[in-house]
Amino acid sequence: MIKLFVGLGNPGPEYEATRHNAGFWWVDALARELKATLVPERAYHGLMARTSVGGHSVWLLEPQTFMNLSGKSVAALARFYKIAPEEILVVHDELDLPPGQAKLKRGGSHAGHNGLRDIHAQLGSSDYWRLRLGIGHPGVKSEVVHWVLKKPAPDQRQLIEDSIAHSLKAWPAMLAGDMDKATLQVHTTKPPRPKPPRPAPPATPQDAAA
């Protein structure tokens, strides 16, 4: 089961609405679902909430170390409470997915994401779960830093919020340890509703003569 839910982002109001903070947005939404309040915890270098669901302790964490030192916060909490890597879910922005998509996976490389890179190093393991929230790619590698630290356009922000709302539905399965079910829920998207047929325009004399 997932015991520790980690959202990645950067602290401070200037970063609050930027793409790199999508992980914070997800954990904020989960905190509202669980009626939990994130509070500063110096020992874990972040905002943390601890609650109980079905008799099981659950932790929510938003590192306040800046992205490239996220592992310092995650590892400190995981070590103290003896939470194994496979019991951790890290939610983060993903360049390789378009806004509106989310993917759940366990393990793998950090793929250049500085937050994941530091978590790998601090935990000494890559065997944790990741929920990847698509933010799209600027198309040019040299623009990536500017892209992730910039606010998405309103339509893109709405798509990201939609993917958060959809993937959030999987948290009960995650807590139950049914990661196959959680993965199916995250990866299954509703097909778009078919548009109703447009009414035919009224006939004209030219139509009648055709």
Distance from C-alpha of 139 to C-alpha of 161, rounded to nearest angstrom = 22
Question: Which residue is associated with the tokens 């049914």?
Answer: 178
Active site residue 20: yes
Phi, psi of 201 (to 5 degrees): -70, 150
Distance from C-alpha of 79 to C-alpha of 107, rounded to nearest angstrom = 19
Distance from C-alpha of 153 to C-alpha of 157, rounded to nearest angstrom = 6
Which residue in the list 20, 92, 113, 120 is annotated as catalytic? 20
Contact 70, 91 (CB under 8 A): no
Active site residues: 20
